[in-house]
Structure 1
Amino acid sequence: MAREGLRTLVVGKKVLTEEQYTGFETRLRQARLSVTDREEQVAGVISSLEEGLQLLCLTGVEDQLQSDVRPTLELLRNAGIRVWMLTGDKLETAASIAVSSRLVSRAQTLFTFKQVSSRSEAHSELNGFRRKSESALIISGSSLELCIKHYEQEFIELACQSPAVVCCRCSPTHKAQVVRLLQQHTKRPVCAVGDGGNDVSMIQAANVGLGIVGKEGKQASLAADFSITQFRHISRLLVWHGRNSYKRSANLSQFVIHRGLIISVMQAVFSAVFYFAAVALYEGILMVGYATVYTMAPVFSLVLDEDVSPDIALMYPELYRDLMKVCRPPAPIRNSFHKQEEYEKESDAYTVQVM
């Protein structure tokens, strides 16, 4: 069921005596009151109870995708937009959804980041992923948190080089943390798309938030900057309306700069001719009227300014790439990994010698 992309759930039962329940409750209370390693102790007590269960049934819930999800993701990928999927599903279900929704193309391979519990394991997995940088990354929330804790810069650089990233078992805090890390390290705007209440923190942390009105409610839609009803509307919102807004704002800023330069140059020449006297060339009302009229006409003309039609913009999403800045690719981090590995070897050897 998980390979088919279903949300699976196993239901079981266990009959406890009163003494067994009393002992379990006492150990659970002590674990919750522990000062150190509280989560590990609570998980250990609960796992001791989850033994010898009688299997009752299995459930599989299908996540039916909305219409045109696959073409929308392919269009965003062709437009040069990197797409990350942050979900609370388990690893198998998240990988199946990524493949079925065409987030990961058929020509790409998947690199599953193993469950790590120490810094050395995280370092070895990052080295393995570095050798397969062209593969899509699938990582769980606990492994993601450990990598960010010890290798924040290296992990973000490697993940940004990957064509697609899938983070499963993510809490709302993890989602917002990933968005902030992308903003901090890439220095690029981040757009977050969500449809549930657990996506509110991620939407608020992003530069632009898109909320989808769905069956999970309107929490994401109310917290977002833009509200849509279908996921496929993202393509038109970004490729058509976003592109026009960017180009019109850029043209308007050039008009405003040109207007200011004209006024400044005329005032500078006038002051130079009259020995830099503190006299204005034009009265205040004339300056305000000139600035208003000169800027008003371009504003009204830019409202209907279109270089291509909507059909052409959606048919050729590569036009969206013209708006992106041409920046250098991130520096290779192979040397830093090697230095870190040598440092760890030296520290381990030094520890052995001391002990």
Structure 2
Amino acid sequence: MNLDGETNLKIKQALEVTSDLQEDGDFTNLRQIIKCEDPNANLYSFVGTMDYKGMRHPLSPQQLLLRDSKLRNTDYIYGAVIFTGHDTKVMQNATEPPSKRSKIEKKMDYIIYLLLCSLLGIALLGSVFFGIWTKADLRNGELKRWYLRPDDSTVFYDPKRAPLASFCHLLTALMLYNYFIPISLYISIEMVKILQAVFINQDIDMYDEESDKPTHARTSNLNEELGQVDTILSDKTGTLTCNMMEFIKCSIAGTAYGQSVTEVEKAMALRKGVPLGDEIEAGGHKEKQIEESPHVKGFNLKDPRIMDGNWIHEPNKDVIRDFFRLLAICHTCIPEVDETDKVSYEAESPDEAAFVIAARELGFEFYKRTQTSIVIRERDPNQNVADYQYRKYELLNVLEFSSSRRRMSVIVKEPEPEGRILLFSKGADSVMFTRLAPDGRKFEEETKRHINEYSDSGLRTLVLAYRVLDEKEYENFAEKFRTAKISGSADRDEQIGEAADSIERDLILLGATAVEDKLQKGVPECIDKLAQAGIKIWVLTGDKMETAINIGFACSLLRQGMTQIIIALEAPDIIALEKNGDKDSIAKASKQSVMGQIEDGIKQVPTLGQSSTESFALIIDGKSLTYALEDDVKFKFLDLAVKCASVICCRSSPKQKALVTRLVKHSDKVTLAIGDGANDVGMLQEADIGVGISGVEGMQAVMASDIAIAQFRFLERLLLVHGHWCYRRISVMICYFFYKNVTFGVTIFLYEAFASFSGKPAYNDWFLSLYNVFFTSLPVIALGVFDQDVSSRLCLQVLVAQLLPKRHIFRNGGGRSYMVMFCLRQVQNFTCFVYL
């Protein structure tokens, strides 16, 4: 496990030149020089070199073991310590989490200041009257109110020094009237919030039995904020979906394979009123669904043309074989073989796990990995199922995936007799098609068409391609790549990228994969209920626009009758500029286009219906979002977005997610961000409330969140039930607290006025001491913990928009209710004073 909080295994391995150092004695005469970068907080980067036996070898994150990480599949290691103490990456990343306070707490501070001013005011008023009456108290050398003056007092009731007596009375009054300030309020609220958090954690209806994970309120400061949420900003993958990828379709050599129906296709058919019968369309042909076979996790491809070795009878069987081999080789997975020779995989992403599982099910099993080789065992399609052929590929280089490259490649050498050097590559269609060789585009048009169909079906796609390298070309690349890796310069990563870019060209297209990430259970119903409650939902996803729109319909984010306002840089003049123009002119024209589309959208919203935002949905792509978030545009974009019931931001980066969240907070609305991965951390920390989903991608989002849940559907009960209860309980409790303290303080003040502001309390000392601590503490706390104006069933069934109190504390239940409470308090003050 690594420090990033993710649960997948990270490959850590020694350099090949030191792999023979196995025993203690091997280190007796060891001489090495390690040079590396200065300490920094980046967990995913490490630049260094090791001089050993007269050679300089590059060091990467694969050779770096981080403090506080845990080793798996390794009994012990030998290593050299390079950073200690505060120089380690775990200490470099040890920053204080952002402090979050609820709006009620902030409003309560102002009320406390108001009560403090009231305390000063009435104390000053009583002292002035006391000074005036004390000065007029001396008549004919005798005190009129002699009974107020203590025997040994020379100052407090001295008519000759009335100003000083008045000042002394001011100090007495401040201590006497201090009950106006509810000193125990903050402590009581903290106790109530902790108990509320316990009830949230123990709610059986928010417990996920499959993962054995309950809801966990990691902080109790924001319980009442849950009842005021106006906008939810959500990730898609792993949040709305399960993040459990299934290999469901593929396009090989221009032919589409896979007959399974995706959830998005079902939703599209339902939306169009077209029933899904026994026949479905696959690759332009209508095929009968094949008989159900036992389900394999990660694999749901159903097509008799390539299953069970039948691919050998297809016209392009060589291309199909290379496609399957690429799936089995081009990855960074780790195989684990048990006693029964069954192989399981540890992958860095669910996508990669789905690929190697698909290759295994299709007869090309990834079996073993070492530092320098990959072994796959191929099932002979012409022989019995149990007959395998083991093929050992020499692993020469791994060109790892990055968000900027958007592809990954491996360079391997085939076993003899072929002995060819092959580059296998997979990546996004936007970067792979531009790298194809002129003679490698045979199936390009058909593959593009299939990719568009897969995207429309809500599937995640990757393009697969390869090329054969000759010895000289590879040697030149290897030298350039090695030089870049041992470079200690600041642009080391750029040099490595350039070296990889030089070899990942002139590729031959094999096809494309399509994996499905199914929606979590109950997501459409949850989103529909939240929309009924008046909560706006924004989805920030890395998917392309077509995929995001279709998934939006599948999860009820987009509904029939909604007017879609789409902002995208697809105008012909922009496309022409991108092909021929310089960067400055492209940026200027793109920004103007985005501003124009935003202004058109703002004009469009009121003309189509000013009374409701329910019929509008805003959809914006990643390029447009970059310009929409610039300082001179972002508030216009916000003005348009807040008028829409749903917003989808496509192709958004982690930084853009955080910036969008920060922008929404400018609308003074309570924002809730929900995500499950490391790329959602910035968004969770920016939002008023961060909710992390403890899913497949690990625990980093959970560690950065305020509340952790196991499934998105639990958000419905968290907001509409616990949010409503907590907000109302805290609001009423605060009003109750102020009510009892002010009532008590006013009766003391009235008695003081009646008793010539003598400084004598109306109650005995024991009553004064126990009033807040004993007599009135438990009822207020019980109200804050147990009060329910409606049951949980009613919260979920009634139109929750009418139940959620989204007003601040002065208007909890409306300003009229607060004024009634204020008037009632004054009536009771006078009643207590007159009759008691």
Range of TM-score over shorter length: 0.7 to 0.9
| TM-score, normalisation: structure 1 | 0.78
Structure 2 residue matching 1:276: 3-state secondary structure: coil
Structure 2 residue matching 1:243: 3-state secondary structure: helix
After TM superposition, give the deviation of residue 158 of structure 1 in Å. Answer: 0.5
CA contact (8 A) 1:80 1:321 kept: no
**Of 649, 655, 677, which residue of structure 2 is paired with 1:167?**
649
Q: Structure 1: which amino acid aligns with 2:592?
A: S
After TM superposition, give the deviation of residue 154 of structure 1 in Å. Answer: 0.9
Structure 2 residue matching 1:60: 3-state secondary structure: strand
After TM superposition, give the deviation of residue 302 of structure 1 in Å. Answer: 4.7
CA contact (8 A) 2:662 2:686 kept: yes
Taking the aligned partners of 2:802 and 2:707, their CA distance within structure 1 comes to 20
User: In the alignment, does 2:461 pair up with 1:8?
Assistant: yes
Q: Give the 3 Å change call, closer, same or farther, for CA 205–287 of structure 1 in structure 2.
A: farther
Q: Structure 2: which amino acid aligns with 1:10?
A: V
Taking the aligned partners of 2:564 and 2:725, their CA distance within structure 1 comes to 36
Taking the aligned partners of 2:628 and 2:807, their CA distance within structure 1 comes to 29
Query: Which residue number corresponds to residue 685 of structure 2?
Result: 204
CA contact (8 A) 1:14 1:54 kept: yes
Cα deviation, 1:79-132, whole Å, max 9, x if unaligned, reads 010000011222222222111111111221323211274331122111232244
**Of 64, 70, 92, which residue of structure 1 is paired with 2:518?**
64
1 or 2, which has the higher helix percentage? 1
Query: Which residue number corresponds to residue 564 of structure 2?
Result: 110
After TM superposition, give the deviation of residue 170 of structure 1 in Å. Answer: 1.6
Query: Which residue number corresponds to residue 333 of structure 1?
Result: none
CA contact (8 A) 2:620 2:649 kept: yes
User: In the alignment, does 2:664 pair up with 1:192?
Assistant: no
**Of 89, 109, 123, which residue of structure 1 is paired with 2:595?**
123
After TM superposition, give the deviation of residue 14 of structure 1 in Å. Answer: 4.7
Q: Give the 3 Å change call, closer, same or farther, for CA 11–283 of structure 1 in structure 2.
A: farther
Judge which range, 215-224 or 61-70, deviates more.
215-224
After TM superposition, give the deviation of residue 175 of structure 1 in Å. Answer: 1.2
**Of 736, 744, 766, which residue of structure 2 is paired with 1:263?**
744
Cα deviation, 1:152-186, whole Å, max 9, x if unaligned, reads 11110110101110112222221111111111x21
After TM superposition, give the deviation of residue 215 of structure 1 in Å. Answer: 1.2
After TM superposition, give the deviation of residue 325 of structure 1 in Å. Answer: 3.3
CA contact (8 A) 2:733 2:783 kept: no
Taking the aligned partners of 1:43 and 1:161, their CA distance within structure 2 comes to 43
Taking the aligned partners of 2:702 and 2:462, their CA distance within structure 1 comes to 29
Q: Give the 3 Å change call, closer, same or farther, for CA 129–319 of structure 1 in structure 2.
A: closer
Query: Which residue number corresponds to residue 659 of structure 2?
Result: 177
- The 5 Å alignment of 1:293-332 reads 293-319=775-801, 322-325=804-807
- The 5 Å alignment of 1:32-47 reads none
| TM-score, normalisation: structure 2 | 0.35
After TM superposition, give the deviation of residue 248 of structure 1 in Å. Answer: 0.9
Q: Give the 3 Å change call, closer, same or farther, for CA 278–43 of structure 1 in structure 2.
A: farther
**Of 697, 704, 709, which residue of structure 2 is paired with 1:216?**
697
Query: Which residue number corresponds to residue 147 of structure 1?
Result: 628
Instruction: State the structure with bigger RCO (CA 8 A, min sep 6), 1 or 2.
Output: 2
After TM superposition, give the deviation of residue 280 of structure 1 in Å. Answer: 4.2
1 or 2, which has the higher strand percentage? 2
Judge which range, 66-75 or 297-306, deviates more.
297-306
Q: Structure 2: which amino acid aligns with 1:161?
A: K
Q: Structure 1: which amino acid aligns with 2:643?
A: Q
Q: Structure 2: which amino acid aligns with 1:211?
A: G
Taking the aligned partners of 1:108 and 1:262, their CA distance within structure 2 comes to 53
CA contact (8 A) 1:76 1:317 kept: no
Q: Give the 3 Å change call, closer, same or farther, for CA 124–206 of structure 1 in structure 2.
A: same
Q: Give the 3 Å change call, closer, same or farther, for CA 284–85 of structure 1 in structure 2.
A: farther
Q: Structure 1: which amino acid aligns with 2:565?
A: F
Judge which range, 67-76 or 82-91, deviates more.
82-91
Give structure 1 stretches of 5+ with no counterpart. 327-355
Query: Which residue number corresponds to residue 530 of structure 2?
Result: 76
Taking the aligned partners of 1:324 and 1:235, their CA distance within structure 2 comes to 17
CA contact (8 A) 2:459 2:515 kept: yes
Judge which range, 137-146 or 237-246, deviates more.
137-146
Query: Which residue number corresponds to residue 318 of structure 2?
Result: none
Taking the aligned partners of 1:193 and 1:147, their CA distance within structure 2 comes to 22
What is the aligned-residue RMSD (CA, Å)? 3.3
Query: Which residue number corresponds to residue 273 of structure 1?
Result: 754
Query: Which residue number corresponds to residue 716 of structure 2?
Result: 235
Q: Give the 3 Å change call, closer, same or farther, for CA 249–171 of structure 1 in structure 2.
A: same
Q: Give the 3 Å change call, closer, same or farther, for CA 48–294 of structure 1 in structure 2.
A: same
Taking the aligned partners of 2:497 and 2:550, their CA distance within structure 1 comes to 28
Judge which range, 80-89 or 285-294, deviates more.
285-294
After TM superposition, give the deviation of residue 235 of structure 1 in Å. Answer: 0.7
Q: Structure 2: which amino acid aligns with 1:5?
A: G
Q: Structure 1: which amino acid aligns with 2:620?
A: I
Give aligned-pair identity as a percent.
33
